[in-house]
Structure 1
């Protein structure tokens, strides 16, 4: 199974499926900090954050040397304005895959691993904080991925280990993810930990403004009348489709955009199904989910390939969305990886499905 991480111009393949999703409502990812993180300002310490099972990590002051597990947590730090504190990352973003000025800044960060950072390299990095986007339990990421450091080893190396709960805690969510509250909580918590709460508050406010506008625009359309929607994860392979279930952040993005995820009845984050399952759903719209290749031309080529595959394959060419040309060319990362751009994707989907209703 393919992991849901940012691995440059090509997707990274690891054993097991990354538990990447957003905990919303009463899910495991909704409680991100023990303090009033949104009120924190530089120097407003101590701050405590919790992991998926409630274990606390305390900060008496801002971390000075940060390592990120992959490009999703790296991008959040860059957006918060503390990129100068990041001394290394795993699963680095390929050149051109991050938006605007963030890309140039990201390329300056030392790559400690093209995929999972080797244990010895992480422990010897000199970091005082490791931000883990992966699952904190089990065998699919974070402390369970490969030969990862134990809690005792992190402590001995002087490294505090925290998680992005919106992604790491997805599998433990108690209910389907239908909003971006856990993503917003992660941003708020990182702001508190790094002393950038004012900036975090601005980022969250911007997300809320976009999503609120969309909700107002689609509010007049009854749930049962909303178009059905399939996220086609082209890069996960076409032999057997990998679908986004109701614990994945994509379910929230699709739902907020005024659509119905055709696999919202699947409890979990990802699942492999058969094409007969997709055919039985017969979606109104299909998102061509391809990962950023680093340039507009390369991305267009990937989208073209995904569309052509659907049009030329016996199992899919008869689907309603395929016959009507109802395709959305929106990348995988801002749809399935928790971050600020989730709100942009909500807006973009709505503009396509409800033309004229969102400015």
Structure 2
């Protein structure tokens, strides 16, 4: 566990004859102290909400935001949030969070918050709403290492500390680590790592994953190399010329929104500009759901999906 990812300390401050337990965690470039576990939490986006659910925190939540405006929930997620209201279909306003009497907002930069926007840790602080930021998104507010699975593990461990369910969080992370280690150890070696392009969206210019976006880590864990791993950004647009020049052997489509994965594949397969790409010539496409391609509990399954695709003939 890296101290740059998680800083959890527990100390006792005597108040009269009682005791107040405080927990401090690292959230991007901030340290955030909690006098007690939140009781009225809100999460933004499907993957962050699933992190809350997998830790059994639904009863500490007053709602969630940022899902139906772009994505749909599968049966598992629908069951998990059935008792919770969606307070905003897309990014919430400050008034939405205040109106719900929230005391905690789990979000990220470009996952419910924008740098310089209306909803930030600083704008919510006067209203007693503490914010924990998704680790993957910290590149938007400072320097960080390239994305890794440790980012997702850190978020679960920090949430565990914040909500006083550290034992559960540590067990989950230990299980994920063991599952991933066992799986990668069992993989047949590849003579060379396949060149992989992540196609999120866009036709005029593609939106893709750079070195700070979770697919970069998923691709590496599965034995491939992201052709945009030198892009010093998280999720960002690039020119199609760069994609053609780097000639991906496999294209990973992120499935969400109004344009389906099949439509994205058809666009690339039918466009003469891409006809000579190895991935197009050999029809080597693999689909990840948005909730798999972004930090969260389904990242291990995503690695398995990618590993199988990279080894398919």
How does the TM-score come out when normalised to structure 1?
A: 0.76
Are 1:286 and 2:251 matched, yes or no? Answer: yes
**Counterparts of 1:150 and 1:162 in 2: how far apart (Å)?**
8
**Counterparts of 1:191 and 1:350 in 2: how far apart (Å)?**
30
What per-residue deviation string (whole Å, max 9, x for no partner) do you get for residues 39-65 of structure 1?
xxxx99421112222x32222322111
Task: Report the CA distance between 1:205 and its aligned residue.
Answer: 2.2
Task: Report the CA distance between 1:220 and its aligned residue.
Answer: 4.2
Q: For the aligned residues, what is the CA RMSD?
A: 3.0
**Counterparts of 1:260 and 1:270 in 2: how far apart (Å)?**
16
Are 1:200 and 2:169 matched, yes or no? Answer: yes
1:74-85 aligned within 5 A = 74-85=49-60
Are 1:342 and 2:299 matched, yes or no? Answer: yes
- Per the alignment, in what secondary structure is the counterpart of residue 87 of structure 1? strand
Considering fraction of residues, name the structure with more strand: 2
Does structure 1 retain, via aligned residues, the 8 Å contact 2:69–2:89?
no
**Structure-2 residue corresponding to 1:330:** 288
Does structure 2 retain, via aligned residues, the 8 Å contact 1:240–1:274?
yes
- Per the alignment, in what secondary structure is the counterpart of residue 289 of structure 1? strand
Task: Report the CA distance between 1:248 and its aligned residue.
Answer: 1.0
What per-residue deviation string (whole Å, max 9, x for no partner) do you get for residues 213-254 of structure 1?
2432358446xx111111111xx3111112211111110011
- Per the alignment, in what secondary structure is the counterpart of residue 330 of structure 1? strand
Task: Report the CA distance between 1:32 and its aligned residue.
Answer: 2.6
User: Match for 2:24 among 42, 48, 63?
Assistant: 48
What per-residue deviation string (whole Å, max 9, x for no partner) do you get for residues 76-129 of structure 1?
111111112111222035799445433223243222222121112212321121
**Structure-1 residue corresponding to 2:275:** 317
Give ranges in structure 1 of 5+ residues lacking alignment.
Answer: 1-23, 37-42, 294-300
Are 1:271 and 2:245 matched, yes or no? Answer: no
**Structure-2 residue corresponding to 1:242:** 207
**Counterparts of 2:145 and 2:71 in 1: how far apart (Å)?**
36
Mean Cα displacement is larger for which, 198-207 or 237-246?
Answer: 198-207
1:171-250 aligned within 5 A = 172-177=142-147, 179-218=148-187, 220-221=189-190, 225-233=192-200, 236-250=201-215
Give ranges in structure 2 of 5+ residues lacking alignment.
Answer: 11-18
Task: Report the CA distance between 1:310 and its aligned residue.
Answer: 1.1
Does structure 1 retain, via aligned residues, the 8 Å contact 2:55–2:169?
yes
**Structure-1 residue corresponding to 2:222:** 257
Higher RCO (Cα < 8 Å, 6 or more apart):
1
Does structure 2 retain, via aligned residues, the 8 Å contact 1:62–1:193?
yes
**Counterparts of 1:94 and 1:193 in 2: how far apart (Å)?**
28
- Per the alignment, in what secondary structure is the counterpart of residue 172 of structure 1? coil
**Structure-2 residue corresponding to 1:9:** none
**Structure-2 residue corresponding to 1:104:** 79
**Counterparts of 1:211 and 1:126 in 2: how far apart (Å)?**
39
- Per the alignment, in what secondary structure is the counterpart of residue 46 of structure 1? strand
- Per the alignment, in what secondary structure is the counterpart of residue 240 of structure 1? coil
Aligned length: 305
1:131-142 aligned within 5 A = 131-134=106-109, 142=113
Task: Report the CA distance between 1:157 and its aligned residue.
Answer: 2.1
**Structure-2 residue corresponding to 1:130:** 105
Does structure 1 retain, via aligned residues, the 8 Å contact 2:70–2:90?
no
**Counterparts of 1:314 and 1:214 in 2: how far apart (Å)?**
38
**Structure-2 residue corresponding to 1:159:** 129
- Per the alignment, in what secondary structure is the counterpart of residue 315 of structure 1? helix
What per-residue deviation string (whole Å, max 9, x for no partner) do you get for residues 296-317 of structure 1?
xxxxx92321221111111112
